[in-house]
Amino acid sequence: MNEADTPILWLGIVASGLYHGINPGMGWPLAVAAGLMEKSPRALISALLPLSIGHLLAMLLVLLPFALLIALVEWQRPIQAGASLLVITFGLARLVSPRHPRALARIPPTQLGLWSFAVAIAHGAGLMILPLYLGLCLPSGIHDGHEAAAGVVNQNLAMALLVALVHTAAMITAGGCLAWLVYRYLGVRYVARSWFNLETVWAMSLVLVGAIALAINLADWH
């Protein structure tokens, strides 16, 4: 990917954050529940903080290792291709077996941060933005030396943090607005009547993102 693709990549990161935010599986119904139980909009807003922190940490857990690997210039293309294949494989696995790990049910609803982190990992939320992040990473030159390579690693680590922050901000904004809309105007009954399952759509989205990234990578490779 070249510099001309940068705005598209950032748009994809924001769009994926909005997409994650409106997905009930990422936790906004828990924020609604917190507000209703305490009969306070402050409780709803307070619940959004641990949900966003958990999601952010899940993003970083996926992105940071690749920030280090991508500095291996002779392996950059294989790493990018491998990341795309990883996303596709995970998406196909979610299509075949959409059930959540049993461990998620053991996390108390009061531990919103831990729950958000575990759910994001289980859904492969970080994997969805991985190809976008890799497209923003700086390549390192073969003969640049250790100091230059270290500088590239530091910049890619900073980029990982920025990508995770922007994505999470979009996610919590979308989820928070939807939670407030349900809490203040629509009510829980509306949610129950209009509930829709995004598991299949989510899995297909992973496959699609991975396939597009792989196609672009192979096109640039040749």
- What are the pLDDT digits (tens) for 69-91? 776 655 677 878 888 899 999 99
Residue 97 has a pLDDT of 80
Percent of the chain whose predicted confidence (pLDDT) is above 90: 36
Looking at residues 32-51, what average pLDDT do you find?
A: 92
Can you state the angle between helices 41-69 and 145-181, rounded to 10 degrees? 160
C-beta separation of 51 from 24 below 8 A: no
- Look at residue 182 and tell me whether its pLDDT is greater than 80: yes
Do residues 213 and 131 lie in contact, with contact meaning Cβ atoms separated by under 8 Å? Answer: yes
List the end-to-end C-alpha distance of the chain, in Å, as a whole number.
13
Task: Grade residue 61 by pLDDT with cuts at 50, 70 and 90.
Answer: very high
Region 158-179: mean pLDDT is 95
Rounded Cα distance, 124 and 154, in Å: 25
State residue 68's pLDDT score. 79
What's the confidence (pLDDT) of residue 190? Answer: 67
108 band by pLDDT with thresholds 50, 70 and 90:
confident
- Cα–Cα distance for residue pair 191/180, rounded to 1 Å: 12
Report the pLDDT value the prediction gives residue 142, as an integer from 0 to 100. 45
Averaged confidence pLDDT in the chain: 83
pLDDT digits (tens, 9 = 90+) for 127-160: 989 988 988 886 655 445 555 566 777 888 999 9
Q: Taking 50 as the threshold, does the pLDDT of residue 12 lie above it? A: yes
Predicted pLDDT of residue 143: 46
Across 2-6, 51-55, 110-114, 208-212, least confident range: 2-6
- Quickly tell me which residue has 């994926």 as its tokens: 16
Of the listed ranges 50-64, 75-89, 108-122, 185-199, the one predicted with least confidence: 185-199
CA 122 to chain centre: 11
